[in-house]
Chains A and B, each alone.
Chain A
Amino acid sequence: MENFTPYSALIGGCFIGLSAALLLFFNGRVAGISGIIVDSFSAEIENRYWRGFFLIGLMFSAAIINTFFPVTAVTYSRHILLVVVSGILVGYGVRLGNGCTSGHAVCGLARLSLRSVVATLTFMSAAMLTTYIMRHVLGY
C-alpha cells in the first residue's frame, strides 16, 4: 500500500465534512452534489442561485488550491467512449438511486439513513466488481 496517503485523506475528508456542515448550518441543505446539479436546473428560480454558487465554488476550488500548493498534474488516458459511457451511467444512476457518493456515502451515512447505507454498499460493490472486470479480466 505504498500509495496510501492517510493524512491528506483525513484532512481532505474533514474539509468535505465541514463544507456539508456549513451548508446545513446556513442554508439548511444537504450537500449531495448530484441533487444540487439537478436542482440547479429544476428548482424554483430563487432556489437555483445558491446551487449555482455552490457549483461554481466547487469547479474553481482546485484552481485556487493549485495556485498556492501546486499538486502533480493528473494524466488522463482513458478512451473517450469509456468516459462517455461512464458519465451517462453515473448521471442516470444517481437520479434513479437518489444520490451519489456525497449524498449517500457522506451526508446519508452521517444521518444514519438506512437507504444511504444500502445505496453505499451497493454502489461500492458494483464499482469494485466493475474495476475488477475492467482491470483483471479485460486487462484494460
Chain B
Amino acid sequence: MNKNIAALICGILFGTGLTISQMSNPDKVLAFLDITGNWDLSLMLVMFGAVTTLTTAQYFILKRSKPVCDSHFHLPKTGNLIDSRLILGAMIFGIGWGLVGFCPGSALAALSDGKRDPFIFTIALGIGMMLFSRFDNKK
C-alpha cells in the first residue's frame, strides 16, 4: 500500500463518517451545542463511536514497531503541558465553531454540496490560519 492511496481512502472514510452522521450539516452540530433548546445528543454518539473504534484499533496497531508505509509512528510530542495557548486556542476555536457550526473537517466535507457557506468558511479558515503564521511569534 502506498502512503498516498492509504491517505485517499482514509480521507474518503472520514468524510463518509461525517456525512452519514450528518456532522457536515452545521444545523445538526448546533442542535447539539444548543443545550437549552431541543437538545440533540447525536454528536456525543459520533464521538463515542469514533473514540471507541480508534482506541480499540490503536491498542493493536501501536504494538507494531512501525506503521506499514513509514519508518516510525508520528505521535504528538506535546506531552501533558496545559498552557494558556492551549486554553485560549480552544476558546477561540469554540467561539468560532459555535457561531456557525462548522469545524475544519465538516466544512471540507460539505464543500462538494456546491453551496456558498462551506466555500466561504473554508476560505476564511485559511485566512485565520495564515493570520496565525503572520502574528504568532512563538512557534
Which residues of A line the B interface, CB within 8 A? 1-6, 8-31, 33-34, 37-38, 49-51, 53-66, 71, 73-74, 76, 78, 80, 82-98, 100-102, 104-111, 113-115, 118-120, 122-132, 134-136
From 16 to 32 in chain B, residues with beta carbon under 8 angstroms from any chain A beta carbon are 16-28, 30-31
Candidate in A18, A57, A86, A120 with the most chain B CB atoms within 10 angstroms: A86
Q: Which residue of A lies closest to B73 (CB)?
A: A28
| Nearest CB in chain B: distance from A44 CB, A | 13
> Can you list 28 A-B contacts with CB-CB less than 8 angstroms, sorted by A residue number?
A1-B41, A9-B49, A16-B50, A23-B6, A24-B57, A24-B58, A24-B62, A38-B129, A57-B9, A58-B11, A66-B112, A74-B110, A76-B118, A86-B121, A87-B123, A87-B125, A90-B103, A91-B130, A93-B90, A96-B132, A100-B105, A109-B47, A109-B51, A110-B58, A111-B58, A114-B82, A119-B90, A122-B86
Q: Are A3 and B136 in contact (CB under 8 A)?
A: no
Q: Are A131 and B131 in contact (CB under 8 A)?
A: no
Candidate in B1, B112, B126, B133 with the most chain A CB atoms within 10 angstroms: B112
Q: List B contacts of A120 (CB < 8 A).
A: 90
Instruction: Give the contacting residue for B93; candidates A94, A106, A110, A114; CB below 8 A.
Output: A94
| Nearest CB in chain B: distance from A103 CB, A | 8
Chain A-chain B contacts (Cβ-Cβ < 8 Å), number = 468
Instruction: Give the contacting residue for B78; candidates A37, A105, A115, A127; CB below 8 A.
Output: A115
Instruction: Give the contacting residue for B19; candidates A61, A105, A130; CB below 8 A.
Output: A61
Q: Which residue of A lies closest to B135 (CB)?
A: A92
Instruction: Give the contacting residue for B11; candidates A3, A55, A108, A132; CB below 8 A.
Output: A55
